[in-house]
Structure 1
Amino acid sequence: MIIIACVDDDMGMMFNHRRQSQDRALRELVLEATKDNKLWMNHYSAKQFSESTAPQINVDDCFMSEAGSGEYCFVENCDVTPYLRWVEKIILYQWNRRYPSDQTFSINLSGGGWKLVHTKEFSGSSHERITEEIYIQ
């Protein structure tokens, strides 16, 4: 599976049971990147994509158990550590800010053999600068 997550500079994802931020341009980029494959997410994340009629979106609260090889998982409020052995690639979108957080991205990217293979910056609809980082093992 390919993990997609949005994080702040401290790898924070959630604060007080809510996503730290969201961005319309980033959602469009995710939908474009996943258009030829399945994009799995839970019901919480599906609310963020509710305006979309993208056929690749699959909603299931056990979505990481359902995702197959090469399929995408949009992760906001889940611990991916139990599924680490099935993770082929990680795509992080960095907000380039520090927000309060009480849930962080659980994979240590500086250890465990993860390699940063791609970085790209772009302007979002709510964030002047978002950084896409792609990691593989």
Structure 2
Amino acid sequence: MILIVCVDDHNGMMFNHRRQSQDRVLRADILELTDGKKLWMNAYSRKQFAESDAEKIRVDETFLDAAGDGEFCFVENADVSGCAERIEEIYLYRWNRDYPVEVYFPVDLSVWKCVETKEFAGSSHEKITRERYTR
């Protein structure tokens, strides 16, 4: 599976049981990145996306188990530590900000290689950085 995760400068994902931030341009980038492939997420994450995107998204509360090889998983509030051996690639979207944080992205990126970086302006963030990691 291929993970898509949004993090702050300290790899924080959530605070007070909520996502740190969201951005419509980032969502468009995710949909473009995953175009033609399955994009899995839970109902919490699905709320960010428009109804018109419904045919592109698979919603399942056990999506990390349901996703197959080469399929994308948008992770906000799910624990990926139990499926670490199944992760093929990671796309990290960095907010380039410090936010309050309680939940951190648990994958040790030091054993991964950053093979691609893309920066773009979001609708709510002047700079969002997308990093692609492979083993």
TM-score by length of structure 1 reads 0.95
Deviation at 1:78, TM superposition (A): 1.3
Cross-structure match for 1:104: 104
The question of whether the paired residues in 2 share the 8 Å contact of 1:40 and 1:74 is answered with yes
1:74-113 CA deviation, whole Å, 9 max, x = no partner?
A: 0001111111111000000000000001001010101xx3
In the TM superposition, what are the counterparts of 1:44-123 in structure 2 within 5 Å? 44-110=44-110, 113-123=111-121
Cross-structure match for 2:132: 134
What letter matches 1:53 in structure 2? D
Unaligned runs of 5+ in 1: none
Structure with the higher helix share, 1 or 2: 2
The question of whether the paired residues in 2 share the 8 Å contact of 1:121 and 1:131 is answered with yes
The question of whether the paired residues in 2 share the 8 Å contact of 1:15 and 1:102 is answered with yes
The question of whether the paired residues in 2 share the 8 Å contact of 1:7 and 1:94 is answered with yes
Structure 2: how far apart are the matches of 1:107 and 1:123?
Answer: 26
The question of whether the paired residues in 2 share the 8 Å contact of 1:6 and 1:76 is answered with yes
TM-score by length of structure 2 reads 0.97
Structure 2: how far apart are the matches of 1:123 and 1:109?
Answer: 24
Deviation at 1:121, TM superposition (A): 0.6
Q: 1:122 to 1:64 in 2, by over 3 A?
A: same
Deviation at 1:55, TM superposition (A): 1.7
Cross-structure match for 1:33: 33
Aligned length: 135
Q: Which runs of 4+ in 1 moved over 6 A?
A: none
Unaligned runs of 5+ in 2: none
SS at 1:21 equivalent: coil
Structure 2: how far apart are the matches of 1:48 and 1:92?
Answer: 17
Q: 1:67 to 1:116 in 2, by over 3 A?
A: same
What letter matches 1:58 in structure 2? R
What letter matches 1:128 in structure 2? E
